[in-house]
Amino acid sequence: MSPELSFAIGPSSDELSPLKQKPRLRFPVLPSLSDNLATATNHPMGDIAYTLATCSGYAYSDADTLAMMMARMGLFNSHCRKIVLANDAMFINSTAYLVQSEDGRSVILCYRGTSPMNFVDWLLDADVEPEKISLLLSPNGTPNPDHWVHSGMYRNMRATRYKVVEALQRAMDGRSVIDDDRDPMAHPMEALYITGHSLGGAMAALMALILLVEPAYDDIRDRLRAVYTFGQPMVGSPAIAEYCEQAGLPLFRYVHSRDVVPHVPPRESGPFAHFGAEYQYQDGDRKWMPRTTPIQQVNLTEFATLAPSDFVIDKVATLRDSSTRWNEVAGRVNNLLPIRLANGITNYVAQAIPMLEKTADILRLPLVYSFVDHSPNHYISKLAPEGVLSEFGDVR
């Protein structure tokens, strides 16, 4: 099956507000966005994080809507291409967008995440015994059995990859990502950003990893400025995570409060680990705080009891505050060296003695997670810089 393709051209400033006088115009939300994307070297950057969270949230829509929202943010007349390939039997539901700035200098590659109404996506995210694919990370092409990734997430990224790379190659040549029948862009691509929410964040991380290890993509990798993900699940083994950390992959992961998805796949799936710099929104402080230790995998028993408790906790302010404080205490306890050592030892022994598989879970304090906190709306609103309007031009 070939990917389905569609495209849109973002509106101009005048087209966004045709009936309003110029003193009252509210767009663009970020007047310097185009220049910031092309020139920023220090990441994460607040305006860019806000823009990419917005892009990831509206990637659940169509090309016309995404082009409109990116124009409101500050990318007028952008070229937006949508690439889709779906195969339910293979748990593949892959959607990639490329948003190219009007001058061609910047391109955003955004992967759509888990659709709330798509059962196939949820089967993929919650796969308890995922197939694992080893990536060729050594210079001579020898596979390392420790360097594996979640095959379902990997297949979703691979499903649209060749069309994505084809479009990026056109951008590097100074052409439109949409097609070759349009006038050349003013500049070739100088800056590439990769982003996504939920499963889309996992696909973004894996695409960045492929750019890192595949020599054929060196030219594209040289233009990669940063990867921003929101509510991203773990994608691979601890060895993969260590490899990416040592290579300095510029990945920035945002975790909103008690969002459960960054804690999956569950521990019963085997050892998974995050990589990249992690920022978590703290309800008490009402700001994003960097974490020195990545968040850990959820236990399957905690995940199974999540839905009913989450509904009650989220609707009662006192319970939500209590759960936040409990998570702060439990997180500190679980990160104590004796607890981490005990967990590591029991996990290692459990590989030889399956009866001890659940022992490590007993040593950890249970945490309180949330499906509600996973909504892209939370990431967009909490990442909006102070004093900046919403994507609809409204005061927050």
Task: Quote the pLDDT of residue 23.
Answer: 47
Residue 84 shares a structural domain with residue 109: yes
Residue 90 shares a structural domain with residue 108: yes
Residue 196 shares a structural domain with residue 271: yes
The phi and psi torsions of 2 (rounded to 5 degrees) equal -85, 145
Q: Per-residue pLDDT averaged across 36-41, rounded?
A: 95
DSSP 73: H
Residue 106 shares a structural domain with residue 184: yes
Residue 205 shares a structural domain with residue 343: no
Residue 362 shares a structural domain with residue 235: no
Q: Which residue matches tokens 């798509």? A: 118
Task: Quote the pLDDT of residue 394.
Answer: 82
Q: Which residue matches tokens 């679980």? A: 334
Residue 42 shares a structural domain with residue 190: yes
- Whether the pLDDT of residue 121 is over 60: the answer is no
Task: Quote the pLDDT of residue 19.
Answer: 61
In-domain check, residue 190: yes
In-domain check, residue 395: no
Residue 25 shares a structural domain with residue 94: yes
Q: Per-residue pLDDT averaged across 350-375, rounded?
A: 67
Dist CA 235 CA 152 (whole Å): 10
Residue 337 shares a structural domain with residue 207: no
The pLDDT confidence band at residue 176, using thresholds 50, 70 and 90, is: very high
Beta strands per DSSP E along 257-323:
277-282, 287-291
- What CATH number does residue 207 fall under? 3.40.50.1820
List, for residues 224-234, the tens digit of each pLDDT value.
999 999 999 99
- Whether the pLDDT of residue 218 is over 80: the answer is yes
- Whether the pLDDT of residue 33 is over 80: the answer is yes
Residue 48 shares a structural domain with residue 191: yes
Residue 396 CB neighbour total at 10 angstroms? 9
In-domain check, residue 396: no
- Whether the pLDDT of residue 24 is over 70: the answer is no
The pLDDT confidence band at residue 119, using thresholds 50, 70 and 90, is: very low
Per the structure, the count of domains in the chain is 2
In-domain check, residue 388: no
* Mean per-residue pLDDT over the chain, rounded: 84
In-domain check, residue 393: no
In-domain check, residue 391: no
Q: Per-residue pLDDT averaged across 116-127, rounded?
A: 53
Dist CA 322 CA 327 (whole Å): 9
Element (H, E) at 172: helix 151-172
Residue 291 shares a structural domain with residue 355: no
In-domain check, residue 211: yes
Q: Which two tokens stand for residue 81?
A: 């291409």
Dist CA 259 CA 127 (whole Å): 18
pTM: 0.88
332: containing domain: 299-368
Residue 66 shares a structural domain with residue 200: yes
Q: Per-residue pLDDT averaged across 179-186, rounded?
A: 84
List, for residues 139-154, the tens digit of each pLDDT value.
666 677 788 899 889 9
In-domain check, residue 321: yes
